[in-house]
Structure 1
Amino acid sequence: MDTLYARAGGAPAVTAAVEALYRVVLTDDRLSPYFAGVDIPRLKDHMTALLTQVLGGPSAYTGRDLRLAHARLAITPPHYDLVGAYLIGVLAGLGADDELLAAVRGVLAGTEADIVAGSIAP
């Protein structure tokens, strides 16, 4: 089957994207406070599994529900959008095609209510 995951380059590409994403996010002073005291290697593993699953790869995500995992963080819409923009930029920089980028944008739009503080699920 020709999945976005396979077309993106599989596990090596997803791992590279997650590593690049967190390099940027963790050095951004607007975002880094969200990660204080967080087990970053574990977080990267969860994000890798989640992105893999979203792109049609093996379903290995075993993390908490997104709403529960982010509830205490009080994430603002601008910060959510910034992380999303970084993710899209990282993927584009790694050669992701328009279909993959559109799929990720769709996931970002669909999960915003679970991550942003005060959001109301549709």
Structure 2
Amino acid sequence: MSETIYDRLGGFPGVRRVVTAFYKRILDSVVLEHHFRHADMRRLVDHQTKFMAALMGGPYAIDEIGLRKAHRHLGITRGEFREMSALLRETLAEEGVPPGDIELVLARMARLEPAVIAEAA
């Protein structure tokens, strides 16, 4: 079995480090921070770490129905999704993730865009 991005990042602790850095960028984003003002960040980072781990080939699954239900009331736009993707790209690069792995994670995430944005509901 080949090594996954999840493995190369050091498993759950490495992915959690990336997610924590990612959310620091999100909370600094004038485009995105309003979605997180009242969020339980500890719970969100834990959940998002499992989600990112799944995108990176880790031992977690993505529930697209649950993803759609969790986001449908938030009114997330394509522009906000693009901003989030750009911040994830920056975070992964800063964490030393190779460009090919970054593109793979972003491609996997892009396939889930219809489950996240309001315009696709």
| Fold shared by both chains (TM-score > 0.5) | yes
CA distance in 2, matches of 1:114, 1:62: 10
What is the number of equivalent residue pairs in this alignment?
120
Deviation >3 Å, runs of 4+: 60-64
TM score, norm. by length of structure 1: 0.88
- Pick closer, same or farther for the CA change 1:62–1:76 going to 2, 3 Å: closer
Q: CA RMSD in A?
A: 1.9
- Pick closer, same or farther for the CA change 1:114–1:84 going to 2, 3 Å: same
- Pick closer, same or farther for the CA change 1:60–1:105 going to 2, 3 Å: closer
Identity score, percent: 33
Paired residue for 1:80?
A: 81
The CA deviation at 1:29 is 2.0
Paired residue for 1:103?
A: 104
Q: Return the letter of the residue paired with 1:5.
A: Y
In structure 1, stretches of 5+ residues that fail to align are: none
SS in 2 for 1:65: helix
Quick check: 2:64–2:112 contact (8 Å CA) kept in 1? Answer: no
1:23-63 deviations in Å (ceiling 9; x for gaps): 11012222111112211110100100111112111227689
In structure 2, stretches of 5+ residues that fail to align are: none
TM score, norm. by length of structure 2: 0.89
Q: Return the letter of the residue paired with 1:39.
A: D
